[in-house]
Structure 1
Amino acid sequence: MPGTRKLGRKTQPRMQMLRGQVTYLLDIGYIETTVTRAKEVRALAEKMITLGKKRDLASYRAALAFITKESVVKKLFDTVAPSLSDRAGGYTEIFRTGYRRGDGAPMAIIKLVNFDIVKQEADKKAERARRAEERAKKAEDAAEDKE
């Protein structure tokens, strides 16, 4: 157990939640969650990445025992850990994003340091703009055909 935060849950449900969040973080590259959960996830994710950097059978099996998807373990050992091999720790970053609307809980994004969230958001915006431009052109062509 990485820390002493109970997160309002008993041990087994808490560990299942954290295992799921670590799995999703390693699969996608970032997650948005509460600040306290992000701090717990950070400790566990860094341990999994350290296992991935060892690249031996015992480490692979230990990661399989914790991470809920085998495909994520393969990704961890094949891509994530080698890309972070030059770092001696600090594989994740936590950015506070404000407060949750419903209950006012402080929220944060936890991401892997080699994951560029800004680039991904820019790509999404560019794709939306391109689609809007195509729709406008189709509407213009349809209006010309009508006349």
Structure 2
Amino acid sequence: MPQPKKGPRLASSPAHERLMLANMATSLFQNGRITTTLPKAKRLRPLAERLITFAKRGDLHSRRRVMRVIRNKHVVHVLFTEIASMMEQREGGYTRIVKIAPRRGDNTPMAIIELVTEPVSAKQATVKEAEAAAKVAADKEAEEMAAATDAAIVEGAAADAVEQAVEASEGEAAEADKAAEDLNAEAVAADAAEAQAEEDADVAEEAAEAEAN
């Protein structure tokens, strides 16, 4: 006979065991607590807490996952609306197991499994609020850092543009000065050539007058 992967078999077959646990989970969510044997309570606890985790998500896919186990739509509605809201501040430990006196007759260990409906302690709530505030502050600091980085990038780009403009202006000014110097040199050369031409003309005129005399 095949053996179950974890713990003793609670029914005649795996299918019977799944149906039995589903019925126990339905009764637990409907009444808030049930009395059963200790092995059954230990096997029911992870299933019930998993279903509560699906209920806290609240989406359609989670509701369909729960409906595969619990067929009672009224119980599913209570699970998603009332029980999930009660467990909103908890991150686990939605149920508790309390051992009671053994059953008369066969001395089987008995237990009560119930939903933990007490509100989260003030200390835990304060810790969660502090963690939420720290997360918000960290996100805000990250946004400010990103904004400062973007501003620095923009400022650096503007400084580079100004520097390039200054360098371009200086280059244009140097080219203008060089052109002015070239024009000045050409003017000086032209003046010198004109003076030389006038001097040559005077010498030629004097030579012609001397030959005429």
TM-score of the aligned structures, taking structure 1 as reference length: 0.74
Query: In angstroms, what is the RMSD of aligned CA positions?
Result: 1.7
The equivalences for 1:57-72 within 5 A come to 57-72=60-75
2:49 to 32, 46, 50: 46
Question: Does structure 1 residue 26 correspond to structure 2 residue 48?
Answer: no
Instruction: Provide the secondary structure at the position in 2 that maps to 1:6.
Output: coil
How many residues are treated as equivalent by the alignment? Answer: 115
Question: How far does the alpha carbon of each residue in 1:12-69 deviate from its partner, in whole angstroms, 9 at most, with x for none?
Answer: 1111110000010011000000000001110100000000000000000111111121
Give the partner amino acid of 2:40: R
Instruction: Provide the secondary structure at the position in 2 that maps to 1:111.
Output: strand
Which residue of the partner structure matches residue 106 of structure 2? 103
Runs of 5+ unmatched residues, structure 2: 119-213
1:89 to 84, 92, 100: 92
Counterpart-to-counterpart distance in 1, 2:23 and 2:11: 17
Question: How far does the alpha carbon of each residue in 1:57-112 deviate from its partner, in whole angstroms, 9 at most, with x for none?
Answer: 00001111111211000000000011101101100000001100021100000000
Counterpart-to-counterpart distance in 2, 1:43 and 1:19: 12
Runs of 5+ unmatched residues, structure 1: 116-147
Counterpart-to-counterpart distance in 2, 1:3 and 1:72: 28
Higher relative contact order (CA 8 A, sep 6+): 1
Which residue of the partner structure matches residue 10 of structure 1? 13
Counterpart-to-counterpart distance in 1, 2:89 and 2:35: 26
Pairwise CA distance, 1:10: 1.0
Pairwise CA distance, 1:3: 4.2
Identity %: 39
TM-score of the aligned structures, taking structure 2 as reference length: 0.52
Counterpart-to-counterpart distance in 2, 1:2 and 1:75: 32
Runs of 4+ with >4 A deviation: none
Give the partner amino acid of 1:13: H
Change (3 A) 1:105 1:84: same
Instruction: Provide the secondary structure at the position in 1 that maps to 2:68.
Output: helix
Give the partner amino acid of 1:7: L
